[in-house]
A and B are shown apart, each in its own frame.
Chain A
């Protein structure tokens, strides 16, 4: 799996948009970008994934650059409950593909 690079930590004011960057310059053509988050002492929670088009769901938006070497997860209106470690992972989509977690970004939402 391609390696990802994320900033170790970020702060964001409550109510503002949180933009979390991720570099994945060695991504291959059939690998997807997945985002998960882990709130303290819980299992990782799936957020969103994409291949090359931008994606949006009820939780977040995912912006992938045209060359697919980086992406940004956007939480449009951050709340205190969004404080968590966010993991950007590159992987094939098909079943039985294990996910390799990096160190992620610790996002702290500030009241």
Chain B
């Protein structure tokens, strides 16, 4: 149970374009999703918390206008990296906050060229 599916698993995009990452809860309803980012050789850092039907809460230093989060349904949260730059290249991971322990998606490797 508590399976979280993330798509795509990897994506390459050109600088200046936008990329959308999906996080789906497959067998439960997710009112809360956590979005993490992981740079090479570093640990996971929480970016934001998305809540179904309301605005996301962003961690300090994360630009909300650049990392758009939509959580319009109880099974889907999306993260859109707008106007991507090479420094946004990272591993993005989501998890639902509705289950304990947390089960994570398999992550999305974003490479911006």
Q: Which residues of A contact B (CB under 8 A)?
A: 34, 38, 41-46, 49, 87, 93-104
Interface residues of B in 32-46 (CB under 8 A from A): 32, 34, 36, 43-46
Instruction: Establish whether residues B98 and A43, one from each chain, have CB atoms under 8 Å apart when the complex forms.
Output: no
Closest chain A residue to B98, Cβ basis? A95
Instruction: Establish whether residues A44 and B34, one from each chain, have CB atoms under 8 Å apart when the complex forms.
Output: no
Instruction: Establish whether residues B6 and A43, one from each chain, have CB atoms under 8 Å apart when the complex forms.
Output: yes
> Can you pick out 19 interface pairs between chain A and chain B where the beta carbons lie within 8 Å of each other?
A41-B91, A43-B95, A43-B104, A43-B107, A44-B93, A45-B104, A46-B102, A49-B101, A95-B32, A95-B99, A96-B32, A96-B97, A97-B97, A99-B34, A99-B102, A101-B44, A101-B45, A102-B43, A103-B43
B102 proximity list for chain A (CB < 8 A): 46, 99
B109 touches A (CB below 8 Å): yes
Q: Which residues of B contact A (CB under 8 A)?
A: 6, 31-32, 34, 36, 43-46, 49, 91, 93, 95, 97-107, 109
Instruction: Establish whether residues B99 and A42, one from each chain, have CB atoms under 8 Å apart when the complex forms.
Output: no
Instruction: Establish whether residues A98 and B109, one from each chain, have CB atoms under 8 Å apart when the complex forms.
Output: no
User: Which of A42, A87, A94, A96 has its CB near the most chain B CB atoms (within 10 A)?
Assistant: A96
Instruction: Establish whether residues A42 and B106, one from each chain, have CB atoms under 8 Å apart when the complex forms.
Output: yes
B107 proximity list for chain A (CB < 8 A): 41-43
A38 proximity list for chain B (CB < 8 A): 44
User: In the complex, what distance in Å separates the CA atom of A99 from the CA atom of B49?
Assistant: 11
User: In the complex, what distance in Å separates the CA atom of A95 from the CA atom of B100?
Assistant: 6
Instruction: Establish whether residues A46 and B91, one from each chain, have CB atoms under 8 Å apart when the complex forms.
Output: no
A87 proximity list for chain B (CB < 8 A): 43
A96 proximity list for chain B (CB < 8 A): 31-32, 97-98
Given A42-B107, A43-B6, A43-B105, do A97 and B43 touch, yes or no (CB 8 Å)? no
A41 proximity list for chain B (CB < 8 A): 91, 107, 109
Instruction: Establish whether residues A46 and B103, one from each chain, have CB atoms under 8 Å apart when the complex forms.
Output: yes
Q: Would you list the 7 A-B pairs with minimal beta carbon distance, nearest first?
A: A43-B104, A96-B97, A101-B44, A101-B43, A46-B101, A43-B107, A43-B106
